[in-house]
Chain A
Amino acid sequence: MKKNQALINIQKKWQGSLSSYLFGFIISLLLTSAAYFLVITQFFTDTALVFTVIGLGILQAIAQLLFFLHIGKVTKPYWESIVFFSMILVLIIIVTGTLWVMFDLNSRMMPTMTEMTHVSDVPDMSDVSDIPETLNKEIPND
């Protein structure tokens, strides 16, 4: 009897319902089909298509988070939502950080026009006043 009571209590705690699952399923189905057929038929031009498909994907992710994973519907204390948002923060840092650093590095590694004809590319220091005279000379280019 006592085992059943605990089971009944925890069964009541779980947040799912038939309507939320069916609703989430239908929405996900629509969003997936929309993205797929937009891409297959190339309905929009390049940039517009990219943003539309990404938008549809994010919408579907939100729909699945709400209707399948029940984000935000857990009662107090909202530990699961707090952990979720801290994960999102870490994720944003990692993804934007990686993309920024790697693309910046990539563009810095590209050979420039002047490198192909000159050896050095030293900045001009003639307007700096607080360094000794001996150092403040122009370096000749080869």
Chain B
Amino acid sequence: MEESTTFNEIKHQQETFSRTILGFWIYLMTDCILFATLFSTYAVLHYNTFGGPLPIEIFSMPTVLAETLLLLTSSLTSGLGLLAARRNDTSKLLIWFGMTFLLGLSFVILEITEFAQLVQEGHSWQVSAFLSSFFTLVGTHGLHVSIGLLWMIVMIGQIISGGLTVNTFRRLVCFNMYWHFLDLVWIFIFTFVYMMGVI
């Protein structure tokens, strides 16, 4: 009796893990569609500058490169953190996710300063359709990253206080997928917004 209960519990936890991972993956797919609609809007409206400046005149390329490299590296450190979690190495896990947090925070700060500078120079989202769609697309991505940072803090706190369990490992896997997905969306922002804007 003792053995079969234990086996059922283990099986239940494994099924919960697989189900939750698949469910979270489906959520990420719907988030992809959300970003696709924002990209389509930007594609339709990006020539409508209302007589204002062209993208090439207001985008700062070094900032964009820095943001891209920060997010890419944070994606790597997040994966390395999950590898540490698989080895039950809690201290390494915390170091890697701590680094992911710092890199992600640097990205958000850089992006906020980029937006603030644009608004200060008079290129706010109220000025033209191009700027509205730009701020909506890139701002939504930045909001996703910021919420990811909050999630990371809570998760790091949970691991420090409760250790690595089935639940916390599952959440780390979900977070890792989320973070990789955000880097994936950023590749498209980098290519279609910033690179296309400058050519």
Contacts and interface: CB of A to CB of B under 8 A. Distances in A.
Interface of A: 2-3, 5-7, 9-11, 13-14, 16-18, 21-22, 24-25, 28-29, 32, 35-36, 39-40, 46, 49-50, 53-54, 56-57, 60-61, 64-65, 68-69, 79-80, 83-84, 86-87, 90-91, 94-95, 98-99, 102-103
Nearest to B21: A80
A90 B69 CA distance: 30
B164 A99 contact: no
19 contacts: A2-B10, A3-B166, A6-B13, A7-B164, A7-B165, A13-B18, A14-B82, A18-B83, A25-B72, A25-B73, A28-B187, A32-B69, A50-B199, A57-B195, A64-B180, A64-B187, A80-B22, A98-B40, A98-B41
A65 B105 CA distance: 23
Main secondary structure of the interface of B (DSSP, over half): helix
A18 B169 CA distance: 18
Interface of B: 6, 9-10, 13-14, 17-18, 22, 25-26, 29-30, 32-33, 36-37, 39-41, 43-44, 61, 65, 68-69, 72-73, 75-76, 79-80, 82-83, 85-86, 88, 164-166, 169-170, 173, 177, 180-181, 183-184, 187-188, 190-192, 195-196, 198-199
Given A21-B83, A39-B198, A84-B29, A57 B187 contact: yes
B199 A57 contact: no
A16 to B, nearest CB: 6
A29 B183 CA distance: 12
A35 B193 CA distance: 13
